[in-house]
Structures are given as C-alpha cells and as structure tokens.
Amino acid sequence: MRIQCDYCGQYIRDTDAVCPHCGAPNDGMMRSAAGVPKTIGELQEFCRAHNLPLAQMRFFLGQDIPDARAFGIFRDDDGNFVVYKNKSDGSRAVRYRGGDEAYAVNEIFQKMKEEIIKQRQRKASSSGGTTRSRRASRSRRGVSGQLVWILVICYFIAMLFLFVAGRLGKTHNGYYNYNGNTYYSQSDTWYQYDNSLLDWYPVTVDEELQENASDYYAGSNYSSSYNAGDFSDSEYYQESAQDSSWSDDWDDSDWDWDSSDSWDSGSTDWDSDW
C-alpha cells in the first residue's frame, strides 16, 4: 500500500524503511501483514502447501543463488537476512539486508504474489478469457469444431483491430522514449519525468508522440535503463482495473497452483531492480 511521507508529503510504500525522496524514516512502516509467513521455514512450508513451482518461478528460499534471473532470500554469515534479485545480466539488486526476518520474508512473499498475479493475467490474456481464476473457468472439451473456427476467426479480427488502433496512435499504459525524454501514458494522460526534480509531472505531449505513440513505446514494466523513476512510485499512479481485480479480493486459495499449469519465467521483468 502507498502512504504519504510525514516529512515531505511524497507517496511511498508502507514497507519502505525510509522515504526514497527525502530520506526521512517511515514511522508507519509495515513489518509484516497478518497471515504472512514470519520465517523462511514457514514460507517454505507455505509454498509446499500451495504447490508453488519454485524452481520454474525462479524463487530460491534459504539459498544464495549466483545464477542470473533469480529471486531469493537467505541468512548470511553475519546473521543478516538478505532478499535479492539477480537480473538478466547476472548483476544483483539487494532489496533488503538486515536482522528482521519477518520483514525480509514479507518482502519476498509480496513479490511472489505479484508474480503469480502476472502469470494468471498472462494466461487469461493468451487464452482470450476474462475469468479471474480457474475456479471460474469452463470446460471446453464439449466445444464443437464449428465453434472453434468461429472463435479463431473472431480472435484474428480482434488482433487486426488492435493492430490498426495501435497504428492510429492509441496509447497503452507504459513508458515511452521520445526526443531524449521519458514519458508515461496512463489512461491516455501523459506524464514526463524530470531528472532534476526526480519526479513525474503531467504534460501535453507533441502531436508526433500522440499520433505515433507505438513508434516510441518502451514497455509496460519499469527498467532502470529508462533513466527515470518508477512511475508506480509517483503520486499520479493508479492501479489498473485488471490489477485490482486480482489483488483486492485475493484469498488463500488464490495461491494454489495447478501442477498441469506451465510457468513462464521469461515473462518476468528481469532487468528492473525489483
């Protein structure tokens, strides 16, 4: 959850120990939420109970893995708990290092939840479905061949429409690189990052960017290569309806993973710090 810093008024995460904008301590920092495992051992047992494919997910609990593309948590020789992410190039970004095990476990736990949500969204999108989970899905075994062809034709018509719409300048939520600056489009409202103020602000963009947005699209996930701050940390960020539909009513059963389901770790944003 995002809260306001008591000192500078900027929006920060409730799990931030200090404000990333002014450096002031976050007196309201959430160490761990109810129902969240408090130890690495409890988290390991939680994952086993919910059949989570940790190896395919690239999550390593209690292990210091040097390989690229990995999330992990372990206790080092000094007794500190380390939460880390190894990026695509093999470099490591440390999310947390300290003596608070419950806080460290909560950090990796929330990241696991975020990745599961993304996987379920990807599956729903690739199948053309709009259901929230497999509990709401319907069996397709009885669908006739004729209906299958109708669905295939409708799919390609929809893809053609989306392509044409994109070429006509329809923007997608995400980052854009234009004339040496970084922009973010959210619900067709544009924001530009100011490197001197280290913050985002709303702008009216050039007609070229507005009409040919797809030519400058960088991606929906944050990357440090954009030379800008993470838009989700700004006061203007609004969680999308798709995201909120998966997170607002999340319950324990949503952690359950069907062993027949594949996990695409290649869809994870491995280039960002977290």
Tens digit of pLDDT at every position of the chain (274 positions)? 567 888 888 877 766 777 888 888 887 665 555 578 999 999 999 999 999 999 999 999 999 999 999 999 999 999 999 999 999 999 999 999 999 999 999 999 999 998 998 888 777 766 655 444 444 443 444 445 667 777 777 766 766 655 554 444 456 788 999 999 999 998 889 999 998 889 999 999 999 998 888 888 888 778 888 889 999 888 888 755 444 444 445 677 888 888 777 898 888 999 998 8
Q: What does the pLDDT read at residue 137?
A: 45
Residue range 119-157, pLDDT digits in tens: 887 777 666 554 444 444 434 444 456 677 777 777 667
User: Does pTM top 0.75 for this prediction?
Assistant: no
| pLDDT, tens digit (0-9, with 9 covering 90-100), for 185-195 | 988 899 999 98
pLDDT at 37: 93
H, E, C per residue of the chain: CEEECCCCCCEEECCCCECCCCCCECCCCCCCCCCCCCCHHHHHHHHHHCCCCHHHHCEEECCCCCCCCEEEEEECCCCCEEEEEECCCCCEEEEEEECCHHHHHHHHHHHHHHHHHHHHHHHHHHHCCCCCCHHHCCCCCCCCHHHHHHHHHHHHHHHHHHHHHHHCCCCCCEEEEECCEEEEEECCEEEEEECCCCEEEEECCCHHHHHCHHHHEEECCCCHHHCCCCHHHCCCCCCCHHHHHHHCCCCHHHHCCCCCCCCCHHHCCCCCCC
**For residue 191, what pLDDT is reported?**
95
User: Residue 245's pLDDT is what?
Assistant: 45
pLDDT at 104: 94
Q: What is the pLDDT of residue 67?
A: 96
